[in-house]
Amino acid sequence: MFFPISGVTLDPIALILIGFVIGVLGGFFGVGGSFLTAPALFALGMPMNFVVGTDLAHIVGKSIVAAKTHRVLGNIDLKLAAIMVIGTIAGAETGVQTIESLKKHANLDLVVGMVSIVVFTGISIFCVWESWITLRAKRQQNIAGDAPATTKQDSTAVDAFAKKVQQIKIPPIVGLPHSGIRAISFWAILFVSFVGGIFSGFLGGGAGYIRMPSMVYLLGIPTHIAVGTDLFEIIISASYGTIRHAMNGNVDILIALVMQTGAALGARIGANLTQFFTGPRIRLAFAPLPLLGAIVIAQRLLTGHHL
């Protein structure tokens, strides 16, 4: 099928299938999935300047469907999402502007790329280690005859660290009753979303694979609520990114609309699947995603392609 806005001929079935797969992942893990969509669209023959913008447009639609399902399941903390949007947009702008200015002076792609690979690989290894320890502890609890674990009752092997972050008393202090947090510094939330935004600005996607685990491990948000809230927050930040890219002529909305028909179905399935898994299991299944992000960056550094 010919798409006149970007001037490419693409198979609509392939687009719908890509949308579906990314939709399931996005709904289940609370990520945009750009690290998979971008290489897939590029491989189908889409010009690189259209890949990032079109992907962001499709992420908006997919996240609306997934977030609606998560809202019904009670997985969205609106107050947390509102604070995080500020940090993400500020971080994304800072990331883009800083990188653009530093590119003139140094071999920044290599340095930031290497740092990102180390960080992403570290997150993957940490998620596997932490969720494994937590699952083992829960199994021992069950053997000991304690109450069985429930889907949304969540704990991590590093709860103590999140408690320390919650004890930082830099005003303003906010309460997040929906996430079960009585008091946390506004700046801690802003910092986490700002760092996620910087990665988003540099790598072009939503950077959910940084933000979702950061919300769980650093802020102490239960995994199900981190997934739902991240998706809600992605709607706003990806809408902002879509408008910016579309104004520069980098969005083929027809391709995004076709992809979104598959993504809507996948996102709904992915979001509903979270009911069947406990927090540590979701985190364990999440572990390969940052590693995929690291592989994409490594490929980009080795080949010089801007994926």
Partner 1 sequence: MNKAPKPFPKKIVVRFIIEMVIYAMLVSVYLGLVFHFLVVWLKDLSMQRPAVYAFVSIILMILQAVALEKLTTILVNLDRRRQG
For residue 171, the minimal CB distance to partner 1 (Å) is 30
Residue among 155 and 239 whose Cβ is closer to partner 1:
239
For residue 107, the minimal CB distance to partner 1 (Å) is 33
Identify whether the C-beta of residue 220 lies closer than 8 Å to the C-beta of residue 162: yes
Question: What is the spatial distance between Cα 91 and Cα 198, in angstroms, rounded to a whole number?
Answer: 5
Structure tokens belonging to residue 228: 């739902």
Residue among 7 and 45 whose Cβ is closer to partner 1:
7
For residue 207, the minimal CB distance to partner 1 (Å) is 20
For residue 61, the minimal CB distance to partner 1 (Å) is 4
Residue among 121 and 155 whose Cβ is closer to partner 1:
155
Residue among 268 and 300 whose Cβ is closer to partner 1:
268
For residue 153, the minimal CB distance to partner 1 (Å) is 6
DSSP states of 107-147 as a string?
Answer: -HHHHHHHHHHHHHHHHHHHHHHHHHHHHHHHHHHHHTTPP
For residue 20, the minimal CB distance to partner 1 (Å) is 10
DSSP states of the chain as a string?
Answer: -EETTTTEE--HHHHHHHHHHHHHHHHHH----HHHHHHHHHHHT--HHHHHHHHHHHHHHHHHHHHHHHHHTT---HHHHHHHHHHHHHHHHHHHHHHHHHTTTS-HHHHHHHHHHHHHHHHHHHHHHHHHHHHHHHHHHHHTTPPPP-SS----TTHHHHHHHHT---SSEEEEGGGTEEEEEHHHHHHHHHHHHHHHHHHSS--HHHHHHHIIIII---HHHHHHHHHHHHHHHHHHHHHHHHHTT---HHHHHHHHHHHHHHHHHHHHHGGGS-HHHHHHHHTHHHHHHHHHHHHHHHH----
Residue among 98 and 153 whose Cβ is closer to partner 1:
153
Residue among 126 and 277 whose Cβ is closer to partner 1:
277
Residue among 193 and 242 whose Cβ is closer to partner 1:
242
For residue 158, the minimal CB distance to partner 1 (Å) is 22
Residue among 262 and 290 whose Cβ is closer to partner 1:
262
Binding site for partner 1 (CB under 8 A): 4-5, 12, 57-58, 60-62, 64-65, 68-69, 74, 148-153, 239, 242-244, 246-249, 251, 253-254, 256-258, 260-261, 264-265, 268-269, 275-278
For residue 235, the minimal CB distance to partner 1 (Å) is 9
Strand partners, 3: 8
